Amino acid sequence: MVPIRHLVLVAGLAVAAASCGSDSPSSPSSGGNDGPIAGTLTITSTGITPKTVTVPVGSRVTITNNATGTHNMNSNPHPEHTDCPALNIGNIAPGQSRTSQNLTTARACGIHDHDDATNTLWQATITVQ
């Protein structure tokens, strides 16, 4: 028979392990997170600036939300978000910044607000070279 204190310990470890990880289902899914931050996009009430940014292969991009609403930033195409999964950043609340995973393939990556996907104010292009 297993002592109750061992069962409590095992249950506690299981809960701790289950709670580890991301708090967002739209978190980046590949590419690691140790590359240098080589680009920054800023969301304001008038849109994303700059509309294009160029970064080296292996680097990351930070998006800062200086607008008043939350933006759900993901890679193109909508709604699959499969072109550049490292850019599937998810929800960024006002005043927050989130950083992508490493961008490991040279290409042009579109990004948009999933919740307002056709609005060009919330679209940008990251060129990885």
Residue spans of the domains in the chain: they are 26-128
**First-residue to last-residue Cα distance in the chain:** 61
Beta strands 37-44 and 47-49, pairing class: antiparallel
Determine the pLDDT at residue 27. Answer: 42
Name which residue leads in pLDDT, 10 or 70: 70
Q: Which CATH architecture has domain 26-128?
A: Sandwich (2.60)
> What value, to the nearest 5°, has the Cα angle with vertex 77 and ends 123 and 129?
70
Which residues on neighbouring strands pair with residue 97, listed in sequence order?
Answer: 64
103 CB-near residues (< 8 Å, 6+ apart): 31, 35, 55, 57, 58, 59, 60, 61, 84, 86, 87, 109, 126, 128
Q: What is the pLDDT of residues 91-123, one digit of tens each?
A: 999 999 999 999 999 999 999 999 999 999 999
* Predicted TM-score of the model (pTM): 0.75
Burial 115-124, CB ≥16 within 10 A → b, else e: eebeeebbbb
Distance (Å, whole) CA 61 – CA 100: 5
Distance (Å, whole) CA 44 – CA 69: 9
